[in-house]
Amino acid sequence: MMRKLITAAAQMGPIAKLETRADTVGRLLEMMREAKGRGCELVVFTELALTTFFPRWMIEDEAELDSYYETEMPSAATQPLFDEAKKLGIGFYLGYAELRVENGVKRRFNTSILVNQKAQIISTYRKVHLPGHSEPQPGRDFQHLEKRYFEPGDLGFPVVKGFGGNMGMAICNDRRWPETYRVMGLQDVEMVMLGYNTPFGHVGEQAMDSLTLFHNHLSMQAGAYQNATWVVGTAKCGNEEGSKMGGQSVIIAPSGEIVAQAVTVEDEVITAACDLDLGKRYKETVFDFAAHRRPEHYGLIVERTGAIPPKS
């Protein structure tokens, strides 16, 4: 049996600070049409796909800050994506900055949505693992202020039925944490979609920063293999307002193997025919959780090694 889902990762090159939503959505539409022309049923866009990566700057004017967020989805600016998706019969993952007002309080999230072939939002995810700082750091050409501009996601890691399989989402730094994949793996996830905007030099330690692209793939390949799932990682990359960001968008099989990879740091569509049943074969053998996983012993192991985490 084969459940083949032809999937695209739609990598984006830089988005200029003054680039309009209409121009950016136009680029997304072009890649959506290219993906459909290759037979794709699903296209995965990147994190914060509608604007430049604004957390690199200290923004003190609230009106300016608010301009980077979406207060509804679809919005007037993004409605063309939904209209074209419905016309073409293709689904999409889209990352964006979300602004909600609850009881007069503004809440800001780094968010992604999954939209089916009928242009219906079937899942929403909010980034849990926020990197960077809440206050500007001295000596940096560019800041990384995600903790200032977003709060941690409050929706968990949902897995939903769609596209013939079990679909999950993550965003950027989430990919580095094994909990991300395992929480979804325990829900029998079959494809994890994630977008990222990853600058070089974000750690500030040259030896570590030189491994940015290696760590990017390492984390996603490990998550795919250890949870027997496809992983689609889509970058925003290139030299964006002077900040250089890594590309190498990939589609990774449940074996941990990269089956498609971008070769530019520009707008580029890569595709793969993803057999969702490939993960099932791993889940019935090496990663049969019921047969081999022993969570009832984990606490005992931690206690005996003295590595009990402090209570919060």
Q: Which of 36, 40, 41, 127 is catalytic?
A: 127
244 counts as catalytic:
no
Cα(98)–Cα(225) distance, integer angstroms = 31
The phi, psi pair for 114, rounded to 5°, reads -115, 125
CB-based contact 279:5 (threshold 8 Å): no
172 counts as catalytic:
yes
The DSSP secondary structure of 144-184, one letter per residue, reads: --HHHH----SS---EEEETTEEEEEEEGGGGG-HHHHHHH
Q: Which of 36, 70, 84, 172 is catalytic?
A: 172
47 counts as catalytic:
yes
CB-based contact 143:57 (threshold 8 Å): yes
- The candidate with the shortest Cα–Cα distance to 200, out of 240, 146, 148, is 240
Q: Which of 36, 41, 47, 283 is catalytic?
A: 47
Q: Write the burial class of residue 43 (CB in 10 Å: 0-12 exposed, 13-18 middle, 19+ buried).
A: buried
Q: Annotated catalytic sites, by residue? A: 47, 127, 172
